Structure 1
Amino acid sequence: MSINDHKLVRCNEKDKETLSIFKKGINDSYGLISTWSTEKDCCAWKGVSCDNITNRVTKLDLNLDPLRTYFDLKFPTYFKTLTGEINMCILELEFLSYLDLSDNDFDVISFTTIQHNITHASNLIYLDLSNNEHSTLQMDNLDWLSPHSSLKYLNLSGIDLHKVTNWLQAVNTLPSLLELQLSDCKLNNFIINPSIQYLNLSSLITLHLSYNNITSQLPNWFFNLTKDLTYLDLRESNIHGEIPSSLLNLQNLRYLDLSFNKLQGSIPDGISQLPNIQHLDLYRNMLSGSNIPSTLENLSSLNYLSIGRNNFSGRLPNISPMAVFVDLSYNFFSGSIPHSWKNLKDLNYINLWSNKLSGEVLEHLSDWTQLWFVNLGENEFSGIIPIEMTQNYLEVVILRANQFEGTIPAQLFNQTFLSHLDLAHNKLSGSLPECIYNLTKMFTFDTEGNFVGSIELFTKGQDYYIYEINPNRRTIDLSANNLSGEVPLELFQLVQLQTLNLSHNSLIGTIPNTIGGMKNLESLDLSNNKLSGEIPQSMALLNFLGYLNLSCNNFHGKIPIGTQLQSFNVSSYIGNPNLCGAPLNNCTTEEENHKSRGHEDDDSIRESLYLGMGVGFAAGFWGVCGSLFLIRKWRHAYYRFIDGVGDKLCVTLMVKLNSFRRNRAPASEGVMHVADHEMLN
């Protein structure tokens, strides 16, 4: 071995051997860790880091998520992550402090007998074995954790732990633990061994137990685990019963998510004693009560409040002026919006869908200048939509199924980022503003935007509940109002629009040919209006159109021939008496019948005309002739008139004849003149 080769080999041979054993179980068909075979120095291997002084391996990071993101964009069907076996012999690396194997597709975890007999003091601080959503990893126990008492971060999310009944005891052996993530691990209990006097998790700050199957109540002692806990996520874990009062012991709690469970009862009265709470999510449970104002009014730091899809009633709470996100949808709140809500200067998301609220709410709208999502649908709100709307970021506006009246202000259509507008089932009147073209996001393709929370989307003739709608979804629904006048041409130039519903109004005018440019249109409903004219041929170009309703208008002519338009049934076109073509009656037969009836009518008219002319001629002829035969003076005058006319015709004929002869024979011109003179005499 040369001196140069010796300098390149830095890593400890024992560490190199352990890494080599670990690599044998990995399926790396794409060469993502190819350097493990080509480089002699294991400290130069991809994902491996060594201490500069001891040359011992201290870090192994094979989280290839950033690399995968790049490859997914460039080669979405070819790129794969690491697969195969995680050999836990890797924990034998004496100086290893950081191990991250997350976001891969490993399917087996193996433990060696050597690993269970680790004699050295573990230096491991960070351990992340979490796998992606396709994970099939499974562990029968967590006893192997006990030697690693220095662990501060542990993430086993996505690993099947349903056979592990003592997971709490195992975690209890990690007194230094600051963050524990066991999401989507199929945990099914909160059982604690009676021999354990108490759980020593006093250092724990962050706890993720979401997406499990606990199927039990939260034990009262659970919130006595630690008083320093600031982040608690128990979302969608099938938890039953009431919220324990011991929750109030977590005085440092800033984030609490108990959404999508089966919790009952009321919110603990003392929750206002959590002075630092910023994020409270109780969405989609079975909680009830009418004491919400007294419960939440003192939470001055609260900026995220989601208590939708419960059974709360009474008046709306008095929300912290720090509020940014407010979801009170699908409850039984009544009354009007508190006047103090005008102070929510930072509010950007509000969802009050499906309550029993009333009053003129929209006067607050001009004060919420940071708003990008507003859903006030399915209530009893009244008043007009304010003309002064100073929001610059509005993306979603849902005022559906209320008692709003007046005209639609043009300012609403000046919102550059607006992508979802639903004003259906109100009492709005007047004509549509002619500035719809300013809805930039509906005219140009834009991949940026916020993922919208829970929303009722009415499209394709049906309603859909969507928990998280794509930010690129674009909808306009103005149906079931009292709108009149012509539909602005600009509306049919919004080429990114996917759903357009103007049905059940009194709109007039025609469908312009520009509709053919709305290539992304999936649902179009113009039914029950007073629209007229022919259906433009360009509509046959709408290849994504999955729902069409043009019924009950005054359209006429033939339905354009195109696979898309003929795929809809009769109900899409009925109520237009002068409209024909598939799927309605055949236009050809009707046109021929119409032409035949037209010819018959023309023949009858001609026959009547000829008959009238004949009768008129006969009447005139016999009227004149009868007079000539019966009146002597008329008869003599008639004969004199006929004689005079005959003489004049004879003279004129002879003059013309002689003129012709002179032109043909100039030499005999004199003779011709004499003959003419004699004839005239």
Structure 2
Amino acid sequence: MTTQMSLILLLLLFVTTFHKSISSNDHRLVRCNEKDQKTLLTFKQGINGSFSRISTWSTEKDCCVWEGVQCDNITGRVTKLDLKGQPNFDDEPIKVLKGEMNLCILELEFLIYLDLSWNEFDLIRIPSIQQNLTHASNLVYLDLSSLGLDTLHISMDNLHWLFILSSLKYLDLSGLDLHKETNWIQKVNTLPSLLELRLSSCKLNNFMLNSSIGYLNSSSIVTLDLSYNNLTFQLLNGFLNLTKDIKHLDLSWNNIHGEIPSSLLNLQHLRHLDVSQNQLQLSIPDEIGQLAHIQDLDLSMNMLSGFIPSTLGNLSSLNSLSIGNNDFSGEVSNLTFSKLSSLDILDLRRLSVVFQFDLDWVPPFQLTEVYLDNTNQGPNFPSWIYTQKSLQYLDLSSSGISFVEFSSLTERIFVELLLSNNSIFEDISNLTLNCSWLGLDHNNFTGGLPNISPIARVVDLSYNSFSGIIPHSWKNLKDLTYLNLWGNRLFGEVSVHLFELIQLQDINLGENEFSGTIPIKMSQNLEVVILRANHFEGSIPLQLFNLSSLFHLDLAHNKLSGSMPKYVYNLTSMITFHLNSWYPATIELFTKGQDYVYDVNPDRRTIDLSANNLSGEVPLELFRLVQVQTLNLSHNNFSGKIPKTIGGMKNMESLDFSNNKFSGEIPQSASLLNFLGYLNLSCNNFDGKIPIGTQLQSFNASSYIGNPKLCGAPLKNCTTKENPKNTTPSTESEDNDTLKESLYLGLGVGFAVGFWGICGSLFLIRKWRHTYYQFIDGVGDKLYVTLMVIMHVEDLALFCKS
């Protein structure tokens, strides 16, 4: 009996195991739903080009194993679709979808999660809601943010399709152009389960404050982001029907005005509040201290005034505090921050308040970021900052500092150290600066250059008194993208390794005493090259004109010689316009006879080779760089003619060919340069008539003087001389000897009669004698005038040489 029971139990165990095995195999054998597969393939039809995930979508494979697709293990229905793009911000975006985004994808009935963000669609197709989009109520997560990276904003005409997403809890449409959807608030209000709404940078229309339908019914929302929309409503009590449970509210970068309403400060669960970059006015209410759970508070870049309330010091949970760029008055002391033990980021930049920190104050927090630029901190460096052992970002630019204990400071700041525009007088040549972003420009640093850590990406040491050579160790700065040493006392040859740094985009060595030749090998990523006002000699390297990203080249005021390279220029950025990289500091531009300073994101195309010893004809390739806006070849020895192709450089704003040896006529095509604001063709050998055009006649004569054979407005009018008529020689021959004798005889008799006739008359007739003397005086006057003209020409020659 026992044996039988054992056999029965064993059989039951086997059956159970076998059943589970079959069930498990059945689950693995469940294939993608045919309807879902058809919908996915319809979506794929609108995609252009190859994409690693989409290219695997084929009927030869089960759609549940397609890249980015996830199915339910039992039903085989598609539940998750993750096709988020993967942009490469250092270069062109990679692994992105392009073409048409078809919202037929919402026909996937059991889809819970959909992420199509960070792609490059140029069109959004919304199918008929009534016919197709009736089964998408299971969708919980939808992210369509940051589409259309090339065009910045891709337009979505309406949001009518939102009403079917009754289960939606997360919605992110940031970056979509929704300005045509005038009732976006009503459409969002149809989502009863919505917890997180992100509509940043959507070009939203303003709230209709005079109508109840204009209020966003956010009774369920815990996260709301309406930043970067240029909203101009007044921040009134109850402007939104905010739930008491809201935790994240971002209204930054709009034009919201009015005062901070007390209702906003009653949101007890608020963790993140950002109303920066608006036009909020009056003072911060004392009720700010009621936000007991607030962690991130950003009121910066507004028009807030009055005293900074002491109740800020009660926000013990505060992690980040930004109140800079306002009009506060009064003073700030260490008592304001005495309870902020959790503080990690402090932004008080551009405040006119008086800072009263005790010299021996040790804060209760350890900050990683401090922004005190454009405040009055000096002359001594704030002593409490030395106590911050975890500091990574420090900005004390323009704060009146003249003394810093660098050895105590630079050892631990590994990201950003900005001390620009102070009066720091110190020799730091024996230090190694370990940060990635270093800004010590516009100070009084002396001695040699410091050693720089290999992690450095941005180095600005311009406008100081550094001397000596560039340290050999700088060849190890493999990540360096921006280097500015303008306006120091550096000398010697520049190491070829510096130009070879692969990541280098911007190099500015202007206003120093560097010598030698310009290195031949250089980074192919260079966009800005400034070597102005040094002692570089030799020829211009061919490689400079093969840098496809280069848009600003300044080699002026050196000792360069020889001719310009003659071959196909690969300066793509000067032929086809595109936005260049963001720049961390200013770039010096010299144009229109003045110094210009361009801030971040410069888009001006410039070539300046002036004040060198360059010669020969200017290659035709130079005049094919149609995006160039400033071209300066003055004070060289260039010769030849200006080609007709100069008329194609229609973006030209500043053109200087003065003090060269250019010749020939100014081409008629030059009159097509309609944006010229500065022109100087003086002191050359141009001839003929100045072409008639709107711009060329708008300049005064100084733009053309020093070209003796040039005429036409604004110079003197051109005169046409008639050629003398041809005379027909006599066909009869005469005796040469007889002719000569008769000629000599006639001359002799004529001279004798004329001499005695005139002289005798002068002696005998008084009236004739007075007329003769007047004639002599007139000849003297003419000689004087001629002498003055010659002296004026010599002065003009000296002007052209200057």
TM normalised by structure 1 equals 0.74
Structure whose alpha-carbon radius of gyration is higher: 1
1:162 partnered with 2:301 = no
| Secondary structure at the counterpart of residue 329 of structure 1 | coil
Aligned residues: 546
User: 2:392 pairs with 254, 274, 277, which one?
Assistant: 254
Question: Over aligned residues, Cα RMSD in angstroms?
Answer: 3.2
Deviation at 1:330, TM superposition (A): 0.5
1:570 has 2:716 as partner: no
* 5+ long unaligned stretches in structure 2: 1-136, 138-178, 200-217, 740-802
For residues 409 and 111 of structure 1, the distance between their equivalents in structure 2, rounded to whole angstroms, comes to 64
Is the alpha carbon distance of 1:46 and 1:31 closer, same or farther for their aligned partners in structure 2, counting shifts above 3 Å?
farther
How many Å separate the matches in 2 of 1:163 and 1:212? 12
Q: Tell me which of 586, 589, 598 is aligned to 1:466.
A: 598
Match of 1:174 among 299, 302, 315: 315
Match of 1:35 in 2: 185
Establish whether residue 293 from structure 1 lines up as the match of residue 429 from structure 2: yes
Does the 8 Å contact 1:122/1:148 carry over to 2? Answer: yes
Whether 1:343 and 2:479 are equivalent positions in the alignment is: no
Q: Alpha carbons of 1:101 and 1:344: their partners in 2 closer, same or farther (altered >3 Å)?
A: closer
- Separation of aligned partners in 2, 1:574 and 1:89: 67
Q: How far has the Cα of 1:535 moved from its partner?
A: 0.4
Gap change, CA 1:96 and 1:549, over 3 Å in 2: same
Establish whether residue 57 from structure 1 lines up as the match of residue 220 from structure 2: yes
Shift of 1:305: 0.8
Instruction: Work out whether residues 330 and 354 of structure 1, in 8 Å CA contact, stay in contact via their aligned partners in 2.
Output: yes
Q: What is the aligned counterpart of 2:363 among 222, 225, 233?
A: 225
Give the alignment partner of residue 212 of structure 1, picking from 337, 346, 351: 351
Amino acid corresponding to residue 246 of structure 1 in structure 2: W
Q: Does 1:435 align with 2:567?
A: yes
The equivalent of 1:386 in structure 2 is 519
**What displacement does 1:509 show?**
0.9
* SS class of match (1:500): strand
Aligned mate of 1:128, from 249, 254, 274: 274
TM-score, normalised on structure 2? 0.63
Report the CA distance between 1:508 and its aligned residue: 0.9
Alignment partners' CA distance in 2, 1:488 and 1:88: 68
Equivalent in 372, 394, 400 of residue 263 of structure 1 = 400
Cα gap change, 1:273 to 1:570, in 2 (>3 Å): closer
Task: Kindly provide the CA deviation profile for residues 2-49 of structure 1, in whole angstroms up to 9, marking residues without a partner as x.
Answer: xxxxx9xxxxxxxxxxxxxxxxxxxxx997665359957766699599
| Distance (whole Å) between structure 1 residues aligned to residue 314 and residue 668 of structure 2 | 74
Aligned to 2:23: none
CA contact (8 A) 2:462 2:486 kept: yes
Q: Distance in 2 between matches of 1:286 and 1:218?
A: 21
Could you give the per-residue CA deviations for residues 291-327 of structure 1, whole angstroms, max 9, x where no partner exists?
A: x134x42x43x11111001111111111112211111
% same residue:
47
Compared CA separation, residues 158 and 278, structure 1 to 2 (3 A): closer
The aligned runs of 1:452-491 (5 Å cut-off) are: 453-468=585-600, 470-491=601-622
Select 2:287's aligned residue among 144, 162, 174. 144
Match of 1:372 in 2: 505
Task: Verify the 8 A CA contact 1:64 1:104 in the aligned structure 2.
Answer: yes
What is the CA deviation profile of residues 430-483 of structure 1, one whole-angstrom value per residue up to 9, with x for unaligned ones?
110113621111011212433362122101121123333x43211000000000
Q: Cα–Cα, structure 1 residues 88 and 249, in superposed 2: closer, same or farther, change >3 Å?
A: farther
C-alpha change, 1:472 and 1:115, in structure 2 (3 Å) is closer
The reply on whether 1:447 has 2:579 as its aligned counterpart is yes
Query: Are residues 1:245 and 2:383 paired?
Result: yes
Contact 1:452 1:471 in 2 (8 A): no
- Gap change, CA 1:272 and 1:181, over 3 Å in 2: closer
Higher helix share: 1
CA, structure 1 residues 506+559, in 2 after alignment: closer, same or farther (shift >3 Å)? same
> Structure 2 CA distance, aligned partners of 1:223 and 1:500?
56
Contact 1:131/1:159 (8 A) holds in 2: yes
Could you list the per-position Cα deviations for residues 199-252 of structure 1 after superposition, in whole angstroms to 9, with x for gaps in the alignment?
Answer: 1112111122223223x4573469733442101112223544321232111110
Aligned residue type for 2:419 = L
Kindly tell me: are residues 198 and 347 of structure 1, through their superposed partners in 2, closer, same or farther at Cα, counting changes over 3 Å? closer
Once the two structures are superposed, what CA deviation does each residue of 1:50-82 show, in whole Å capped at 9, x if it has no partner? xxxxx96352525142xx4xxxxxxxxxxx524
Post-superposition offset of 1:142: 3.2
C-alpha deviation, 1:363, in angstroms: 2.9
Q: Which stretch has the larger CA shift, 223-232 or 347-356?
A: 223-232
Question: Cα deviation per residue 1:553-602 (whole Å; 9 max; x = unaligned)?
Answer: 11111111111100111011111111110001101xx22xx32xx42xx5
Select between 417-426 and 269-278 the one with higher mean Cα deviation: 269-278
Report the CA distance between 1:619 and its aligned residue.
6.2
Letter in 2 for 1:308: D
Paired with 1:191 and 1:471, the residues of 2 have a C-alpha distance of 38
Matching residue's letter, 1:551: S
Give the gaps of 5 or more residues in structure 1: 1-6, 8-28, 50-54, 69-79, 623-681
The one-letter code of the counterpart of 2:301 is G
Cα contact 1:286–1:310 (8 A) shared by 2 = yes
Quickly say closer, same or farther: Cα 1:369–1:206, change in 2 above 3 A. Answer: same
Q: What's 1:584 paired with?
A: 715
Aligned to 1:659: none
User: Structure 1: how far apart are the matches of 2:225 and 2:606?
Assistant: 43
Q: CA deviation at 1:353?
A: 0.3
Q: SS at 2:569's partner residue?
A: helix
Partner of 2:675: 544
**CA distance in structure 1 between the aligned counterparts of 2:415 and 2:487, rounded to whole angstroms:** 25
Q: Name the SS of the counterpart of 1:492 in structure 2.
A: helix
Supply the AA of the counterpart residue of 2:255.
D
